[in-house]
Structure 1
Amino acid sequence: MQDAPPSPDAPVADAAGDNWVDRYAPAFARPYLRLSRADRPIGTWLLLLPCWWGLALAILYDQSPRWFDLWILIGTGIGAFLMRGAGCTWNDITDRDIDAQVARTRSRPIPSGQVTVEAAIAWMVIQALLAALILFTFNRAAIGLGFLSLLLVAVYPYAKRFTWWPQVFLGLAFNWGALLVWTAHAGVLNSPAILLYGAGIAWTLFYDTIYAHQDTEDDALIGVKSTARLFGDTSPQWLRRFLMATVGLMGLAVVFSAMPNATILALVIALAGPWAMGWHMAWQLRGLDINNPSKMLQLFRANRDTGMIPLFFFAAALLA
């Protein structure tokens, strides 16, 4: 006899015990919200924060804030939740056989039998269509960038099968919002946005290598590639390089954003953002223990605060 599928009340293994989905969501909705990682909001923050960086630096660049920027701020917040959910659903559809073999992921809704593949596809389409409604309120250039991002989202789940650097593909996808939101504000894509995009990719390599160290043993058994497996005991040295690349590229993005029109005071305040972000990343390195999965998950989750730090300085620079 086959075991009965887990009930809708069975939580995902790596979700926080007091998350709102397990506590408050209706029973019928919980498997779908877990499929979207709504019980683990860190991913939404990591997708959203580069969007807000891009908006802040775009305004610093042209010194032309407008009321529509408020909608960009709110719309990207909703859109990040929806597109992160759609992307995670797609990831779980493609990885369902792999997830069933990894201790941390076998409790996810598809491998645990709580949601069928067909239902997951329908849920993914619903989330993507709702996100598209937000995207269509932006200018044509931003809409075009939004559709281009779907290629990266589609490819990412397969990257771990053919490259030791799947975190690069995650970085390309997760930081695309910096380009899109800059364009939504400015109507064109300027060079500081590309530098900011590079900084976000380096940051993703930093935090997702930390995250991947939770699964290195299982990944080795089933042949899944990652930077954590590639770097092994040399991970701290690589993470320092990613830290320096993040701070350096973001610093250049700030300089080129401020140079045309911002004041010297605004430039100094904005530059304090990547500097302070770097110190927070250095704090993570001091607590690094690649053989302690719970510690690695704790450090990974700390990156919401890491990404918020420069945003506060960018916002202050806009008021200078």
Structure 2
Amino acid sequence: MALWFSRASRRFRASPFCVALNSSPSFKPSDPFFLKSPIIASKTLETLHPHPNFCCGRLFEFPAGKIIPFHVTLSIASISSTSALTNGTENGENRRGNADKERRSKKIPSSSWIDLYLPQSARPYARLARLDRPIGTWLLAWPCMWSITLAAAPGSLPDLKMLSLFGCGALLLRGAGCTVNDLLDRDIDTKVERTKSRPVASGVLTPFQGLSFLGFQLLLGLGILLQLNNYSRVLGASSLLLVFSYPLMKRLTFWPQAYLGLTFNWGALLGWSAVKGSLDPAIVFPLYISGVCWTLVYDTIYAHQDKEDDLKVGVKSTALRFGDLTKNWISGFGIVCISSLALSGFNAELGWPYYPFLMVAAGQLGWQIWTVDLSNRSDCNKKFVSNKWFGAIIFSGILCGRLAS
């Protein structure tokens, strides 16, 4: 019997629950409570009388020197086995959680098509141009598409060649703008959690490499600009002043989002002139104003992601300027945006299908404004990215309105 208990005790050596008890004045192993519910008794004993040190091979003992009946120790073994499995699972989850925390702390970029398909040497340049984040390209391209479609003849499709050229131009100009921004803001980006892993700020690319890449992007953009008429070439080249000066605005004014609106919506003027060879102020100016107000809405929401870091670094934004009144301000900009789009469509003599689409777009913009949680970075980014659908709805409305006119 002693040998049998010795073997049984060795089975518990790996178990964290095999501990000795100092005393048990409230319970006895012969109590009906123990005999009827050994598992509960084991848990109760373990909770009420834990020994501070681990004791390999000892069973629970009582002042009288009695040993808990074997059916109780079997229950303890079951608990030990279950607990070991549970602890193993929890430890695995903790290790995974720690790995995720480490990944976030080191800002290791998640896998994207850049990591899958581009060679190692090209990946930093692709990230510098934000090719893995196309939302900026969409936001730059949509005003161009609106304008080109407005300039189409009544009952006709827009010029597909122009749509393609401006799509490529938006990709290149957005990338060039991001490169300029990262070069000028590299000292600031290192202090902001969201931007410190960018290629120039993190040191993956040198400023000279970034500048060389900028020259390459502008050279490709020039090739697209030269395919437009002379009026549009001059108008398009003048936008470079806005592109290069925008990154400085956050140091000078609380309204860099308005300046970004002037820059990002230049295509509302350029698209019309590329088709018509001139500008019609009654149509393109309301379109341009609507785009600027739209940018103030989505980029103010976006800026709320960085407001704590911006305060530390000392840069400015409409998120800091508006503060708790942000939703009131961007609601006003949203109303001006929709009103200006309605005026532009009316002056362009779009057909009636344009206006139901405009109402849907107004609903989408209203949903963004009233449901966004400005204290939640993830939700701010979600609402910001959803603006690609706002642009698509307006484009669809202009297209249907033009075909019906």
Fold equivalence (TM over 0.5): yes
2:293 pairs with 1:209: no
2:368 pairs with 1:284: yes
Counterpart of 2:148 in structure 1 is 55
Once residues 213 and 128 of structure 1 are traced to their aligned partners in structure 2, the CA distance between those partners, rounded to angstroms, is: 31
For the structure 1 residues 99 and 273, does the alpha-carbon distance in structure 2 shift closer, same or farther, using more than 3 Å as the test?
same
Once residues 388 and 308 of structure 2 are traced to their aligned partners in structure 1, the CA distance between those partners, rounded to angstroms, is: 26
Counterpart of 1:39 in structure 2 is 132
Once residues 202 and 123 of structure 2 are traced to their aligned partners in structure 1, the CA distance between those partners, rounded to angstroms, is: 13
Moved more, 221-230 or 270-279: 270-279
- Note the alpha carbon deviations across 1:1-29, whole angstroms, 9 max, x for none: xxxxxxxxx9x9597x4532233222111
Query: Alpha-carbon deviation of 1:314?
Result: 1.1
2:242 pairs with 1:152: yes
Q: Which runs of 5+ in 2 are unaligned?
A: 1-103
Q: Tell me if the contact between 1:160 and 1:224 (Cα under 8 Å) persists in the aligned partners.
A: yes
- Note the alpha carbon deviations across 1:199-254, whole angstroms, 9 max, x for none: 00000000000000000000001110000011111111111111101100111010
Q: Tell me if the contact between 1:288 and 1:295 (Cα under 8 Å) persists in the aligned partners.
A: yes
Match of 2:326 among 215, 219, 235: 235
Query: Alpha-carbon deviation of 1:70?
Result: 1.5
Q: Tell me if the contact between 2:155 and 2:402 (Cα under 8 Å) persists in the aligned partners.
A: no
Once residues 138 and 312 of structure 2 are traced to their aligned partners in structure 1, the CA distance between those partners, rounded to angstroms, is: 31
Under a length normalisation based on structure 2, what TM-score does the superposition of the two structures give?
0.71
Counterpart of 1:247 in structure 2 is 338
Structure 2 residue identity aligned to 1:215: D
Moved more, 275-284 or 152-161: 275-284
For the structure 1 residues 216 and 113, does the alpha-carbon distance in structure 2 shift closer, same or farther, using more than 3 Å as the test?
same
Structure 1 residue identity aligned to 2:184: T
| 1:64-213 matched pairs, under 5 angstroms | 69-191=159-281, 192-213=283-304
For the structure 1 residues 194 and 245, does the alpha-carbon distance in structure 2 shift closer, same or farther, using more than 3 Å as the test?
same
Counterpart of 1:312 in structure 2 is 396
Under a length normalisation based on structure 1, what TM-score does the superposition of the two structures give?
0.90
Query: Alpha-carbon deviation of 1:143?
Result: 0.6
Structure 1 residue identity aligned to 2:193: A
Counterpart of 1:29 in structure 2 is 122
For the structure 1 residues 217 and 271, does the alpha-carbon distance in structure 2 shift closer, same or farther, using more than 3 Å as the test?
same
Q: Tell me if the contact between 1:13 and 1:105 (Cα under 8 Å) persists in the aligned partners.
A: no
Q: Tell me if the contact between 2:354 and 2:397 (Cα under 8 Å) persists in the aligned partners.
A: yes
Q: Tell me if the contact between 1:255 and 1:271 (Cα under 8 Å) persists in the aligned partners.
A: no
Q: Tell me if the contact between 2:157 and 2:403 (Cα under 8 Å) persists in the aligned partners.
A: no
Query: Alpha-carbon deviation of 1:286?
Result: 2.9
Once residues 53 and 244 of structure 1 are traced to their aligned partners in structure 2, the CA distance between those partners, rounded to angstroms, is: 19
Query: Alpha-carbon deviation of 1:47?
Result: 0.2
Once residues 236 and 178 of structure 1 are traced to their aligned partners in structure 2, the CA distance between those partners, rounded to angstroms, is: 26
Query: Alpha-carbon deviation of 1:113?
Result: 0.8
Query: Alpha-carbon deviation of 1:272?
Result: 2.7
Structure 2 residue identity aligned to 1:283: W
Counterpart of 2:82 in structure 1 is none
Give the share of equivalent positions with the same residue, in percent.
43
Once residues 272 and 187 of structure 1 are traced to their aligned partners in structure 2, the CA distance between those partners, rounded to angstroms, is: 30
SS class of match (2:127): helix
